[in-house]
Chains A and B, each alone.
Chain A
Amino acid sequence: MNNTTHPVAPEEIMALLDGELSADERQNVTAHLEQCVECAAVRDEFLHTSEAMAQWTVPEPSPGLDRAIEAKVAEGSWMHGSWKPRVHAPGLRNWRPWAVAAAVVLVAVAVAFLASSARLEHKTRHVQFAEERMDERAPFRADGGSAPAPSPAQAGIAGAESAPLPAVAKDKVEAPGGVMGGHFAAPPPPPPAPAATALMIARTVALTIRVKDIAASRAALDGILALHHGYAASLTLNTPEDGPRSFQSSLRIPAPDLQVGLNALRRLGRVETETQSGEEVTQQHADLVARLTNARETEQRLRQLLAERTGKMQDVLDVEEKISETRGEIESMEAAQDLLEHRVAFATVDLQLQEEFKEQLGTGASVSVGTRLRNAFVAGLRNAGGSLLGLILFLEEVGPVLLIWIVILGGPALLVWRRYRRIHG
């Protein structure tokens, strides 16, 4: 009874009896059944089974059902029922595990996302904080020699480069020479007023002031400088599109006028920070002057030598060379002395003005929509990457623990599920 000996499969005989065959198939199978005794026997078996099954009859439903339906329909209770019929009801059992799994995954993703975003936020805050601190320091570094604790070398170089050299009265002190440099000791506390002759103090003040209007403040600043015969060594004005404007400048104010000038500056707005430092350069200046005097005397002697004595051409040339060398030294020392005296005569004021920020409509108009879209897209990509990374990190962190729990709880859960299925099936 198989396909090799019979052109008709037993399954087809069953389908014939169930009326599930097409006309052609039906004809084929019927024709074969008439000839083949074996297949007819198969058909009889099926018929017999059906007959046997037909013996299982059930009585007609009781009138109670009709009445119950009638009553329910009449009272209208079905209208408020929570029943939701589905054609796919039998499939209900299949989606439940999926729904649970989806819920678990969702929760995991949500937790991972929260964790990662919290981490990102923390990081961002940290970075912002660092940037803020840098911002605070920036004005002090703009001009050398004025930072709260600058390195001596930096300060010296910057101070030497930036300041012009007006002629000032020289106060010469006889002292043995030394070399220039290394004159920036730790700043001593500034004396209450600059001493007239005995002490030479280079003053440095750093001011941060918050003002209402940068432009007005700047005009006022010019007035103050003119009044006290000061000048601005450098100016920087920042006007960002969507932030507060800021103004940085390095001012030079004659030392005697410093306190009066500072008072005027403080009135520009609210003083946020103020740092003052004074550096005593008396000794340094004395050294310089002494070396300068020595060098001048040496030059004088050499010139005398050249004028009074005669000798070989070679000797004359040697003396000439020595004179020019000494001359160079003298000029260099004179420059250093001028610089030092200028620093004493003019106090350095590093002023930073910050405007109170007022948000204005339409300030973002200059940034094109395309650019903003692109920026947002890039930010989105970065966020997506961050989230993905966060998820991976979360799985790495929690994954092993989860696995352990799955192993621990999986066994009992599987047993219960199998038991349920066995009973149910």
Chain B
Amino acid sequence: MPGAGKYTWRLNSEIVNDPTQRENIGASSDEQLMSEFARGSADAFTALFCRYRTPICGFFRRRLAEPSQAEELAQEVFLALLRSAGRYEITASFRTYLYAIALRILRAHRRKTIFRAMFQGAAPPGYEPSERSGTESALMLREAVGKLDGIDREMVMLREYEELTYQEIAEVLQIPVNTVRSRLFRARRSLQELLALPVRGSAGTQLASAEEHP
């Protein structure tokens, strides 16, 4: 990155920690900030970091079991953003760009984990629901989400938590927009069923036990 040394790349901790200052930098769009950052503005990077540190951390926390790993990967995303600033072109929205990086890092991480599991004989982690603690309904929800098919789960999560538009989801996952809409619909439908299922399942168990012990 030519000329990087000329600028102060230090994050301004004050900005990060002060909510009012965070609001102040919220005026410009992500793409504008990214362009400024590409021209060397450290403040622009700070602004972007402030905007996305929580969503990106959440992205990994909901997808990985270990909170520490989640933060590590989130950190990798921002480092990748730092390195790629000079190459950024406004072809896609910044959110698409950022989440595409995040998804790539996530997949690379999963691949590594699977690879290790295959050769060390450990049970391969499928979907990693994070944080065992929490309310019971939240746990149920996590299990239900975990039962969804890979792409469907990703679409539902990108929509619900990352709040991407259909278009953005399509770009991140590299599938047509119409496919996103129809699959998202099906995924939500099956999620509804999955959320309703444990109730019926427990009712069934009660019936069975009632038969056994009249």
Contact = CB atoms under 8 A, between A and B. Distances in A.
Interface string B70-104: 01001100111111100100011000110011011
B203 to A, nearest CB: 19
B7 to A, nearest CB: 10
Nearest to A52: B141
A11 B96 contact: no
Contact of B181 (A11, A45, A57, A76): A11
B142 A56 contact: yes
B138 interface: yes
Interface stretch (B9-17, B27-35, B206-214): B9-17
A78 B101 CA distance: 15
B104 A90 contact: yes
Contacts of B171: 87
A73 B10 contact: yes
Interface string A64-85: 1110111011101011010111
Nearest to B101: A85
B104 A92 contact: yes
Contacts of A420: 114, 118
A412 interface: no
B61 A58 contact: yes
A72 B10 CA distance: 9
Interface in A266-317: none
B141 A91 contact: no
Given A55-B137, A65-B74, A68-B75, A60 B166 contact: no
Query: Would you call the interface of chain A mostly helix, strand, loop, or mixed?
Result: helix
A424 interface: yes
Contacts of A83: 79-80, 83-84
B142 A65 contact: no
- Residue among A11, A57, A73, A83 having the largest count of chain B Cβ atoms under 10 Å: A73
Interface string A18-52: 10100000000000000000000000011011101
A18 B166 contact: yes
Contacts of A81: 79, 83
Interface residues of A, number: 51
A380 to B, nearest CB: 40
B192 interface: yes
B84 A424 contact: no
Contacts of A48: 192
Given A61-B74, A70-B13, A56 B184 contact: no
B71 A87 contact: no
Query: Would you call the interface of chain B mostly helix, strand, loop, or mixed?
Result: helix
A126 B201 CA distance: 84
B185 A90 contact: no
Contact of A90 (B10, B81, B107): B107
Contact of A76 (B4, B96, B184): B4
Contacts of A46: 188
Contact of B185 (A11, A54, A70): A11
Contacts of A60: 54, 57
Contacts of A55: 135, 137-138, 141
B49 A90 contact: no
A87 B150 contact: no
A407 interface: no
- Residue among B4, B91, B96 having the largest count of chain A Cβ atoms under 10 Å: B4
A89 B182 contact: no
A69 B92 contact: no
A355 to B, nearest CB: 65
Contacts of B61: 58-59
Interface in B55-78: 57-58, 61-62, 71, 74-75, 78
Given A79-B1, A85-B87, 20 more contacts: A11-B182, A14-B185, A14-B188, A20-B166, A20-B181, A53-B145, A53-B161, A54-B160, A55-B135, A56-B134, A58-B58, A66-B53, A68-B71, A72-B79, A72-B82, A83-B83, A86-B104, A88-B174, A89-B100, A420-B118
25 contacts: A14-B185, A18-B165, A49-B191, A49-B195, A55-B141, A56-B134, A56-B138, A57-B138, A61-B54, A65-B57, A66-B16, A79-B4, A81-B79, A83-B79, A83-B80, A85-B80, A85-B83, A87-B96, A89-B104, A90-B104, A92-B104, A92-B107, A424-B110, A424-B111, A425-B150
**3 interchain residue pairs of minimum CB distance:** A89-B104, A61-B57, A85-B84
Interface of A: 10-11, 14-15, 18, 20, 45-46, 48-50, 52-62, 64-66, 68-70, 72-74, 76, 78-79, 81, 83-93, 419-420, 423-425
